[in-house]
Structure 1
Amino acid sequence: MQIKPSASIRQNYNEIADLCRSTGEPVYLTKNGEGDLVVMDIESFTRREKMLKLREELLAVEEDRLAGRTGMTPDELDSQLESIIDEVEHGKKSSV
């Protein structure tokens, strides 16, 4: 985890941008010693958002399963999950 004072974003934008891109991790900015903002590169942000979406979808499927609702065959589920994982890993549009 990288922590920088908020003034560093104004003074060292390129350095912070390079740090975000090279590590793939967010940089936490503080103001007066307190947490204020989080900065991350767009690729990491997009990947994180897709992973959160996948997690929400998997939780919904698990809730349906626990409630006894049926949806798709194991082969259909496997195909859908492979498509979602491919989208997350490679940024491709899912056909689901």
Structure 2
Amino acid sequence: MNIIPIKELKNTLKIEKICKSSDSPLFVTKNGYGSLVIMDIDYYSNMISEMEEAKLILEALEDVKNNKYRDGDEVIKGLEEKYGL
């Protein structure tokens, strides 16, 4: 885990280098307490994608739990009947 005091934010090249070279966010402290989080844009994009995928999986599991799904063979059969395939 990368942690720096807020006064080090003046050195933007160093901050960018830390963020680009690590696979984790950079935590910035002020007076010894967490204040900010800085991360590389690629790390952020990957994190958001993983969170969206996890959300979709949780929604799908909830649908299964509540019997809100259809069997794949039934769906294909219905499409074949509807479109004369």
**TM-score higher than 0.5:** yes
**Structure 2 unaligned residues grouped into runs of 5+:** 74-85
Runs in 1 of length 4+ with deviation above 4 angstroms?
Answer: none
> Which deviations, in whole Å up to 9, do the C-alpha atoms of 1:12-64 show, x marking residues without a partner?
21111111111121000000111000000101001100100000000000000
The whole-number CA distance in structure 2 between the counterparts of 1:44 and 1:71 is 36
The whole-number CA distance in structure 1 between the counterparts of 2:71 and 2:17 is 44
TM normalised by structure 2 equals: 0.79
**How far 1:72 moved relative to its partner?**
6.1
The whole-number CA distance in structure 1 between the counterparts of 2:39 and 2:2 is 11
Residue 71 and residue 23 in structure 1: after superposition, are their counterparts in 2 closer, same or farther (change >3 A)?
farther
Task: Give 3-state SS (helix, strand or coil) of 2:3's partner.
Answer: strand
CA RMSD of aligned residues (A): 1.6
- 1:3 is matched by which residue type in structure 2? I
Tell me which residue corresponds to 2:34.
35
**Structure 1 unaligned residues grouped into runs of 5+:** 75-96
The whole-number CA distance in structure 2 between the counterparts of 1:14 and 1:72 is 54
Aligned pairs for 1:1-96 within 5 A: 1-10=1-10, 12-71=11-70, 73=72
Residue 72 and residue 38 in structure 1: after superposition, are their counterparts in 2 closer, same or farther (change >3 A)?
farther
Structure index of larger Rg: 2
